[in-house]
Structure 1
Amino acid sequence: MPPIIQPPRSGLLIYLRNVWQRFNLGRFVGALVLTGTALAAGITGFMWIEKFSFLDALYMTMITVSTVGYQEVHPLSDAGRLFVSVYIFFNLLILAYLLSVLSTYIFDGGLRTMFAMLKNDQQIRQYSGHVIVCGFGRNGRKAYLELRASGADVVVVEQNEAVFSAAAAEDAFGPITVVRGDATLDESLQAAGIERARALITALPKDADNVFVTLTARELAPQITIVARASLKSSETKLLRAGANSVVMPDEIGGSHMANLIMRPEVIRFLDMLSGLGPHRLRLEEMRAEELRPELRGQSIRQLDVRSRTGSTVIGLRHQSGEFTISPPADLVPGTGDVLLFLGTEEQILKLLDTFREV
């Protein structure tokens, strides 16, 4: 079972509501209310019929409910014996119901699952700079795996238990931090820690739902990066207008990919290596100039000598102005705000980060 700074009040409320609905706590609370009512009825009955004091009535109620058979405080009247007879009968029914509810939570794993959800909630509260993935269908799963492979903390928001359970059963996913709820609601995104997240991917099946998620996320976290999925071309403009930074259309990309496999097969095979679909996976990485080790700052690309030292290649540079330079010249010196783009195998990129990035 997959394993939920003080959270917003609404985030706590949706967590409690999810626990209530998922584990049918109404039965458990109902059994406790019945038990409490039975105790109150016993105390009231003994005080009214036998004129016992509160302490004597409480004592008689407890020994009657527990059926321990201790001696009565005072001999009972005929009305008192009739009351006790009826009281014992109904208490046996209530006790049997309470035991059945408790056994359900204990032996069917209800308590264990509740503790797992609490642990999951605590995990989310510790996250900062994480990524939220709304929807755990094909696109959501792929995004999740890629993000986890890159070392990002990810929180999944999914309300369809069947969809989530099918994915969670696969070994490739491992423990998944999840919020079970409707991603279009403020409470669900707040429970996922959207105020502390750095990005959100909405990959719900319906474009309208993705628009709602985008609007909600942009309102709750104005600075967050939002990537949205769209099925229809007409939805792209709506999503961008709603606040999405980027819109991805899987069907359009798939069709273009198939056409290019015919016209430019080797280019597509290379792109497959970049996306992790080919037999020899490549990895793209970025590093800001400010992230370089202090002794390497201010050096040109030639002086950095990335290829000889790590085997990876500098394929581009994004200037602070937003412009890109592809295959930057060797004499170019990265300045403040510039971002270097690298290409290499997993081992080469790890060596690059270890050699050049400031610890």
Structure 2
Amino acid sequence: MINIRDIKKALGWEYKVTKPEFSLDKEIYSQFKHFRLPLILLQLIMIIGTMGYMIIDDFTLLDALFQTGITFTTVGFGEVKEISQPGRLFTITLIIFGFLIFTLSITTVIQVLARGKFLDLYKERNMLYKIARLRNHFVIFNHNEYSIQLAEQFKRNHIPFIIVDPRDDIEQIAHKYNYPYFIKEETYTEKAFLKTHLSSAKGVISLSKNISDSITIIASVRLYEKELGRKNPYLIICNAESQKDIERLKKLGANKVVAPPELMAKRVSAMAIRPDMENVLEEFLYKKDTPIDMEEIYIKDDSWFIDQEIKDAHLRDKLKVSIIGITEANGNFLQTPKSSTKVRKGCKLLVVGNQAGIARAKLLVNDTIRPDYIDSMNKKDKFYV
């Protein structure tokens, strides 16, 4: 028998909804408690009205219920059948209480909407569902002038990110600077980690001007990382103002620490000393949709490429990717290695090429099995020689 679900899956029509790790359902449901009294009074007046018509004018259950409904809502349909004088007095009383309950209900709705909490919770819930679909994103803690510039770079390079900041006007800030995802929460709390779907993130970035905030974030993220039992540690990037702070943050667990004054000084120095090289970097490395990219490739322990020469992979011929540097396991950097240089265990390759070629190179050099095309290309090289 043909299964419709299997057909949808084969055609790619099936969409899997990922639920957020932090649920706001309890907070949203708590907003409905304000409607309890009006609903109870509504049910009570319907019961009293139905029983009253049945007792006073001997209505059937359905006629009494219908008469109560049209009387309570004051739609003006008239009487289902002739009502006695006591029944009309009862109807007037029913109309008055119905009007009071209706007024109470409208007032309650206006109060709930005027407070804005219900709408804010609903908006945040929608945001959490959007964030739950992200994978390998970055969580940026704290909004400031650094996050504004960083967000622009991430958007140009199509890197997903979330801004986390506890300030009350973060929604207005997000709209102003076009942050696609944002969360109003204290940066170092577990609630912030759950709301940002940190378990699926690639890393976190702390852009606080206060080093104590960065220290707290690093410690909290590393502890959360251990609780999850992640195989791949988070990439943690922080900013600092002095060399002393840089060393402290690295010792605590930050992978990279950027000093804005030092970084600016290096860029200005490069512009002054080698202006042409700086123009090349601006054109190819920092530009949107650049044809050339530069990246480090870590060689895994079970890679076939270990103890092989660089030329054995034929990266330049096959993928238009060149190895321009090797960082060895002991930290030594080998600049512009020769084609006969052997790749050792635990090293990192600094490669240059287009993004698609580098992505394929990562898979190729870290495969456990030697690719089949290598032997055929080696034969061609021997033939031409």
State the TM-score, normalizing by the size of structure 2. Answer: 0.65
SS where residue 195 of structure 1 aligns? Answer: helix
Deviations 1:157-209 (A, max 9, x none): 345122211121xxxx7xx2333433232201211122232311122454443
Could you tell me which residue of structure 2 aligns to residue 340 of structure 1?
349
Could you tell me which residue of structure 2 aligns to residue 42 of structure 1?
45
SS where residue 177 of structure 2 aligns? Answer: helix
* Residue in structure 2 matching 1:304, options 313, 321, 329: 313
CA distance in structure 1 between the aligned counterparts of 2:222 and 2:279, rounded to whole angstroms: 37
- Structure 2: give runs of 5+ residues left out of the alignment: 1-16, 227-232, 368-385
* Residue in structure 2 matching 1:229, options 239, 255, 280: 239
Could you tell me which residue of structure 2 aligns to residue 135 of structure 1?
142
Q: Is the 8 A contact 1:35 1:95 kept in 2?
A: yes
Give the CA deviation at 1:118: 4.8
CA distance in structure 2 between the aligned counterparts of 1:250 and 1:278, rounded to whole angstroms: 22
Could you tell me which residue of structure 2 aligns to residue 107 of structure 1?
none
* Residue in structure 2 matching 1:283, options 290, 293, 296: 293
Give the CA deviation at 1:251: 3.1
CA distance in structure 2 between the aligned counterparts of 1:278 and 1:198, rounded to whole angstroms: 21
Q: Which amino acid aligns with 1:12?
A: S
Give the CA deviation at 1:343: 2.1
Q: Which amino acid aligns with 1:132?
A: V
Does residue 257 of structure 2 align to residue 254 of structure 1? no
Q: Which amino acid aligns with 1:219?
A: L
SS where residue 70 of structure 2 aligns? Answer: helix
Q: Which has the larger radius of gyration?
A: 2
SS where residue 12 of structure 1 aligns? Answer: coil
Could you tell me which residue of structure 2 aligns to residue 350 of structure 1?
356
Q: Is the 8 A contact 2:46 2:69 kept in 1?
A: no
* Cα distance change of structure 1 residues 103 and 240 upon mapping to structure 2, 3 Å threshold: closer
Q: Is the 8 A contact 1:285 1:349 kept in 2?
A: no
Deviations 1:268-317 (A, max 9, x none): 444434641599774212334459997x7764223334445555431112
Could you tell me which residue of structure 2 aligns to residue 313 of structure 1?
322
Q: Is the 8 A contact 1:34 1:94 kept in 2?
A: no
CA distance in structure 2 between the aligned counterparts of 1:207 and 1:71, rounded to whole angstroms: 76
* Cα distance change of structure 1 residues 299 and 97 upon mapping to structure 2, 3 Å threshold: same
* Residue in structure 1 matching 2:191, options 187, 190, 194: 187
> Taking CA–CA contacts closer than 8 Å with sequence separation of 6 or more, which of the two structures ends up with the larger relative contact order?
1
Q: CA RMSD in A?
A: 4.7
* Cα distance change of structure 1 residues 73 and 343 upon mapping to structure 2, 3 Å threshold: farther
Q: Is the 8 A contact 1:300 1:334 kept in 2?
A: yes
Q: Is the 8 A contact 2:297 2:362 kept in 1?
A: no
Deviations 1:214-250 (A, max 9, x none): 2322221243221112346664455445432222122
* Residue in structure 1 matching 2:94, options 61, 84, 87: 84
Number of matched pairs: 330
Does residue 228 of structure 2 align to residue 210 of structure 1? no
> Which deviates further from its counterpart, 77-86 or 307-316?
77-86
Q: Is the 8 A contact 2:298 2:349 kept in 1?
A: yes
CA distance in structure 2 between the aligned counterparts of 1:61 and 1:336, rounded to whole angstroms: 84
Could you tell me which residue of structure 1 aligns to residue 132 of structure 2?
125
State the TM-score, normalizing by the size of structure 1. Answer: 0.69
Q: Which amino acid aligns with 2:39?
A: G
CA distance in structure 2 between the aligned counterparts of 1:92 and 1:5, rounded to whole angstroms: 40
SS where residue 132 of structure 1 aligns? Answer: strand
CA distance in structure 2 between the aligned counterparts of 1:73 and 1:228, rounded to whole angstroms: 81
